[in-house]
Amino acid sequence: MSLAANARRVLDELTATVDRVDTAEAESLVSALSAARSVHVIGVGREGLSARAFTMRLMHAGLDAHWVWDDTTPAIGPGDLLLAVSGSGAIGHIDYVARRAQEQGARLAVVTASANGPTVEAADLVLRVPGSAYRAGDDVVASIQPMGSLFEQALLVVFDLLLLDLVALRGLGLDELSPRHRNVE
């Protein structure tokens, strides 16, 4: 199959996945992000890379945002939000961190492909991005791509769409994000 034909199929998969994202869930997450004192983001593997990119975007939008695995991440507590990205909804060390954050008084938001799992069931709010992901179950958009590629790609798109809503909610212009970009590169 040609590159162009595969590209069309993958773009169709992405469109089908984003079309199934629930608007009310997305709006709830944007509101929770905006209201949080600080946002701590966690994920692992390639979906974690998508989550880490979103952490950077949140910082660009003026939020106090931290990647959980960084050594400089501060303590989490009441008024804070832990945003856990877990395609399967059942990744042991993410479940552990989520429980610990809730014990400290933080709210838990989960972005997942799965309709269930320990992290999903413990969440205060869930945003389902139903792209094919490793161990996510059957109620997802099927993919010609390996393992969780569709979920990971959809995360990048959905996170940037959420950022647009967050920027609008906070009354920011897109030009206000650039000055927060790292300037020591």
- Residues 142-183 have pLDDT tens digits of 888 888 899 999 999 999 999 999 999 999 988 888 888 888
Q: Decide if 123 contacts 110 (C-beta within 8 A).
A: yes
- The answer on pLDDT for 130 being more than 70 is yes
For this structure, is 152 an active site residue? yes
Measured CA to CA, the distance from residue 28 to residue 127 in angstroms comes to 9
Confidence (pLDDT) at 100: 97
Supply the pLDDT for residue 16. Answer: 95
pLDDT at residue 70 in the model? 94
- Inform me whether the pLDDT recorded for 134 exceeds 80: no
Ordered by start, the domain boundaries in the chain are: 3-180
Neighbours of 4 (CB within 10 A): 8
- Catalytic residue, chosen from 13, 152, 176, 185, is 152
Look at residue 147 in the predicted model and tell me its pLDDT.
86
Whole-number Å distance between alpha carbons of 116 and 52: 23
Residue pair 66/58 in contact by the 8 Å Cβ criterion: no
Q: What is the mean pLDDT of the chain?
A: 93
Range 133-140 average pLDDT? 74
pTM for this one?
0.94
Closest to 83 (Cα-Cα) out of 63, 67, 104, 70: 67
User: Architecture of 3-180 per CATH?
Assistant: 3-Layer(aba) Sandwich (3.40)
